[in-house]
Each structure stands twice: as structure tokens, then as C-alpha cells.
Amino acid sequence: MEPLWRKDLRARRPLFEARAVFLREIRAHFRRRRFLEVDPPLLVPAAGMEPHLDPFEVRGTATSRRAYLPTSPEFYLKKLVASGVDRCFALAPSFRDEAPGRGHSPEFLMLEWYRPGRLGHLLRDTRSLLRRLAPLFLPEGKLRRGEVEVDLLAPIQVFSLPRLFAERTGRDFRLLSDGEAWRELAARHGAAVTGGWSPNDCFSYLVLACVEPYLATLPVPAALVGYPAFQAALARSDPRDRRIVRRMEVFAGGVELANGYEELRDGEELGKRFAAFQEERRRAGLPPHPPDGEFFEATALLPPCAGIALGADRLLALLLGETVGRVRHGTGPEGP
């Protein structure tokens, strides 16, 4: 009898061939635009800083040296930008210690790029990438998601997240002053809220329950711009309204594809956010992330720039008609 692994790998050959074309075209797209491709390291001293990201820790058998697998190539690429490389990208294996499912995989491929500019430049980059990739796999670049046909060749429809959130939930999140107000709003929309729910928990639930289902009805890709300050991650604050940050997420057919920032360049602010994130992990009974001193130095040396992470495996799954589920609202998309 033929071994199951051999039969499985042979059946997957068409997928491997499609993936090879997909990765080749991504590389050609960025090289044509003078982006430098790099291979970030896979053993790192710190894998991230945000409270919801759980990395894999590894230990050498001969040396007992401990390191982490990166949750994204973000830290390394920003160090590169701080060193003077103005445009760079990576197709990098990334790892997150969470249960696998339709929307999450513990190991996945992240496409991440950085450039001078703002969110509008990232949106143009993303649109041009979709316009290159979609016709290779979809008739006329049209993606079928249930009853909705999404034209991936169309311009990305941009929404102000504060405005759309208010339309879908009945409240402007900038005016929710405390945890109780957040919990009350989440409960009103069906959440089984407990006293331990934070504003971040409530926001994540409300986006999944009220905002993303609307995005799934749109016949074009969509972007949400302007996230609450407690979802800042490493995005800079909006100078016109400190209650929000210059962060966006891009969706197609209701599936989150990419997460981009106008990058934080204030080392002191980074230190404050890092401390707050680690305190949140401690309260949740999780070990804090170790600090990456070089990354703290690099943040203060960054030029004005923007960066975005796109789930390469997830995008390919969509283009090939594979099922991709809705996912927890986080700061980076993973693979299928």
C-alpha cells in the first residue's frame, strides 16, 4: 500500500506549482519597483511585543541557547530601514503559537514591505499587487465569496473606521470613555461579556460581529483606516486626533489580508507602549516579551516611512478558491 504522505504530497503538486508562480510574480512586482529583497533571521532574541502575540521558544540541544521564532519580520526590516535602506521587502516564514484553524496556522508566509510615504502609498502598492496577481488565477480577476463577486482589479474602497464603526454599532468608539461603556456596547451586540473584558476585547468582538460582515458584502476590496489608540501596536498617532492611530487593514470578501502602519518613530513612546503591553500580558498570566534593544534604537532612527504585512498564504488560498475563515482581530494576517 502506498504511504499516505506520498499520496498526499503527489496530490498537492498543482498547489506547489501555483504557489511557485505566485511567489515569482510577487518578487518580480517588487523588484520592478526597486525594493530590496532580504531574508530575515529565523532565530531572534525577541519575537514581538504586542500582548496577544505568543511566540515559539526554541532551545539548542548542544549549547542550551534559547531564542525565538519570529511572529513577523517586522523588527528586522525596520532595523534595515533605520540603517539607510529606504525600500525593502521579505517573503518570510513567521510563527505564532496558537491553535490552527481555517483562519490561522502556527507557521505561515508573511509578505512585508517598507517604503517612504504614508498609508495612501501602501494602498497603491497593494492595489497594484492585486492587479498583477488576480488575473493569473481568477477569470477577469473576479473572486467569488458566497453570493458576492469581488473585483480584485477594482480600486480599494477606503473607509474611516471611526465613522463605519459608529454606523454599524451605533457608537463612536472615540467617545467610549471607560471599560464599562465598552462592555455595555459589546453586550448590546450579543457578546457574552464578563467583567474581565478590556476595551481591546470589546473592540475586537464588535469589529468581527458588526463591521467585517458588512465588508463581506462589498464587490471590491476595502480598507479600514484609523484605529483606536489602544490598538496602536507600532503605528504613529494621528496628529489631528490623538484618540486614533495611522493604521489600516485591507480586506477582500470579508477576509483580512493586510495590516499597515505609518510607522512610529518615537523611541520614548515605544518604551511606554512596550511596558504597557507587557503589563497586559502579566495580568493575563502570560510571560512578558523580552525587549530587543537594537529595535528600540532603530525606532528612534527611522525616517518617515510606512510598512505593511500581507498574509501571502491567505491571499493565495483566496485566489485558488480555498476556504478561508474569519479570524480574531489582530495585528497581522496569517495563512490558511
Give the mean model confidence (pLDDT) for residues 30-39. Answer: 98
Give the mean model confidence (pLDDT) for residues 225-231. Answer: 96
pLDDT at 103: 62
User: For residues 124 and 201, what is the distance between their CA atoms, to the nearest angstrom?
Assistant: 31
Name the pLDDT band for 324 (thresholds 50, 70, 90). low
State yes or no: pLDDT of 278 exceeds 70: yes
Name the pLDDT band for 42 (thresholds 50, 70, 90). very high
Q: By C-alpha distance, which of 109, 114, 139 is closest to 125?
A: 114
What the chain holds in terms of domains, given with CATH numbers, is 27-156+220-319 (3.30.930.10)
pLDDT at 52: 87
Phi/psi of residue 177, nearest 5 degrees? -85, -20
| Tens-place pLDDT, residues 58-79 | 999 999 999 999 999 999 999 9
| Tens-place pLDDT, residues 149-186 | 999 999 999 999 999 999 999 999 999 989 999 999 99
Give the mean model confidence (pLDDT) for residues 231-235. Answer: 95
Name the pLDDT band for 322 (thresholds 50, 70, 90). confident
Name the pLDDT band for 1 (thresholds 50, 70, 90). confident
Lowest-pLDDT range, 77-91, 191-205, 313-327?
A: 313-327
Name the pLDDT band for 231 (thresholds 50, 70, 90). very high
User: For residues 70 and 27, what is the distance between their CA atoms, to the nearest angstrom?
Assistant: 21
Strand-pair partners of 173: none
Measured N-to-C along each axis, helices 4-11 and 13-32 cross at an angle, to the nearest 10 degrees, of 50
Q: Which residue has the higher pLDDT, 265 or 146?
A: 265
Q: Which residue has the higher pLDDT, 130 or 284?
A: 130
State yes or no: pLDDT of 336 exceeds 80: no
User: For residues 226 and 40, what is the distance between their CA atoms, to the nearest angstrom?
Assistant: 29
Phi/psi of residue 157, nearest 5 degrees? -80, 125
**Distance between first and last Cα of the chain:** 30
| Tens-place pLDDT, residues 74-132 | 999 999 999 999 999 999 999 999 876 666 789 999 999 999 999 999 999 999 999 99
State yes or no: pLDDT of 319 exceeds 50: yes
pLDDT at 294: 95
- Percentage of the chain with pLDDT > 90? 86
Q: How far is CA 108 from the centre of its chain?
A: 12
Give the mean model confidence (pLDDT) for residues 209-234. Answer: 97
State yes or no: pLDDT of 330 exceeds 80: no
pLDDT at 224: 98
Calculate the CA dihedral of residues 309, 73, 22, 133 and round it to 10 degrees.
20
In whole angstroms, how far apart are CA 335 and each of 101, 104, 122? 10, 6, 21
